[in-house]
Amino acid sequence: MAKKYTSKINKIRTFALSLVFVGFIIMYIGIFFREHVWVMTIFMLLGLLSIIGSTVVYFWIGMLSTRAVQVVCPSCGKVTKMLGRVDMCMYCREPLTLDKELEGKEFDEKYNRKTRKRES
């Protein structure tokens, strides 16, 4: 099965959106424990924490997005934001890089990982 790549900003936004829905589901489960106030309160607080976590992630990615490099996609011609050495176009999923060494190579997210070099 082939990997489906998306831009890093969209991945993080999708994660934050899923935190909102998970929080609502947790709170909804708490409704089933109306007879046990403590259990219901715990579920409501866990759901609230999930939604607050989503807010923090949205704020963080918003701040990160303001510092991202804006490039024009050579395929679709739209302006997209890049994080790291390699990223995908937000619109057409074209692999993008600003690193001359990586041009023409197969797209791999591993290029963004920092590797430690051994000192001898």
Say if pTM beats, i.e. exceeds, 0.85. Answer: no
Percent of the chain, pLDDT > 70?
A: 78
Is the model's pLDDT at 28 over the cut of 90? yes
Is the model's pLDDT at 21 over the cut of 80? yes
What letter represents residue 105's amino acid? K
Is the model's pLDDT at 114 over the cut of 70? no
Give the per-residue pLDDT at 26.
97
